[in-house]
Copies of this chain bind each other. A is one copy, B any other.
Amino acid sequence: MFRIGEFAQIAQVSGRQLRFYDQLGLLQPAHIDQQTGYRYYTTRQLPRLNRILALKELGLSLEQIGPLLKDEISPTQLRSMLTLKRAQIERSLQEEEARLRHIESRIAQIDKEGKAEDLDVIVKSVPPMPFLSLNCACESMDEVVRMVRTVAAEGSRQIKPGLRDRLMVVARNDVDSEKLDLDIGFSLTRPSNVSVRIAGDLVLRASELSAVETMATIVRPGTNAESHTSFSAVGRWIEANHYEIAGACREVFLEEITGPPGFEGALVEIQFPIRKAA
């Protein structure tokens, strides 16, 4: 019969831990003095405690361990618990590895360039959303800019605020042909079949933007002139983290476009659908 301190020393755990396990019913003392409340343990309880510790080492929670201590537990049940846990560990291993690559690429970037530009790339998922857009194949960036401003202006005027959500540009990057093949329009707060006529034969038509589960995004402040740095930041990030581009890039205008041409102040979120590289 040992008091809790000595038993704790033998088993290399803390007294607090033993009291905790007692409280959870995982390991009850062999005897409790009714007068003093002192817990007394015997060496016969060491195997049980060690089994608890061993299962804990495997990553199981104390709650999961409880049932596994009963004698009538079958190897099959134990096996299935372990298999479950294995899957969990494999997942978390991959996450940790990703984190590690991630950090290493940041450190390398700091060493190389003196700063970490792509610190602001974050991964998110987007739900499907109704989209009211115009397809246009532009020849130049200037043409894109003019078209976006036109759509923005007409959209703001003709789509009622309760339906209109945010101005977006979606690349139809089938192949990087000479032309910029874009969908320019507004996401909607709810499905709708309206169409909006702009300047003659240009019409915004309803469609749906599909959901994307993993999307590398960056919020870019400032002018178009600097946009390439944001794009390259995302590109580096994607490469450094072993992803690859898996779809059409989107640009979401987070603010209404106001002021002089060029979108100088507008915050834009650039979104790249990605998937883990093979």
In Å, the complex CA distance between A50 and B254 comes to 14
- CB A168 to nearest CB in B, in angstroms, measures 13
B78 touches A89 (CB 8 A): no
Q: Which of B86, B93, B99, B107 contacts A83 (CB 8 A)?
A: B107
Least CB separation from A268: chain B residue: B43
* Contacts of A50-81 to chain B: CB distance below 8 A: 50-51, 53-55, 57-59, 75, 78-79
User: Does residue A120 face the partner (Cβ distance < 8 Å to B)?
Assistant: yes
User: Does residue A100 face the partner (Cβ distance < 8 Å to B)?
Assistant: yes
B267 touches A119 (CB 8 A): no
Least CB separation from A55: chain B residue: B119
User: Does residue A248 face the partner (Cβ distance < 8 Å to B)?
Assistant: no
In Å, the complex CA distance between A121 and B58 comes to 12
A219 touches B110 (CB 8 A): no
In Å, the complex CA distance between A53 and B216 comes to 13
A110 touches B78 (CB 8 A): yes
User: Does residue A47 face the partner (Cβ distance < 8 Å to B)?
Assistant: yes
User: Does residue A255 face the partner (Cβ distance < 8 Å to B)?
Assistant: yes
B46 touches A110 (CB 8 A): no
B47 touches A120 (CB 8 A): yes
Q: Give this chain's copy count.
A: 2
User: Does residue A177 face the partner (Cβ distance < 8 Å to B)?
Assistant: no
B89 touches A57 (CB 8 A): no
Least CB separation from A89: chain B residue: B100
User: Does residue A122 face the partner (Cβ distance < 8 Å to B)?
Assistant: yes
A100 touches B120 (CB 8 A): no
**What are the residues of chain B within 8 A of A57 when measuring CB–CB?**
99, 102, 122-123
In Å, the complex CA distance between A12 and B216 comes to 13
Least CB separation from A221: chain B residue: B47
In Å, the complex CA distance between A219 and B107 comes to 46
**What are the residues of chain B within 8 A of A79 when measuring CB–CB?**
107, 110-111
Q: Which of B51, B86, B111 contacts A104 (CB 8 A)?
A: B86
Q: Which of B53, B96, B104 contacts A122 (CB 8 A)?
A: B53
A46 touches B99 (CB 8 A): no
**What are the residues of chain B within 8 A of A232 when measuring CB–CB?**
none
5 contacts between A and B (CB under 8 A): A43-B254, A43-B255, A44-B221, A46-B254, A57-B122
- Besides A44-B267, A93-B100, 8 more A-B contacts (Cβ < 8 Å) are A54-B119, A57-B99, A58-B103, A59-B103, A75-B114, A78-B110, A93-B93, A96-B96
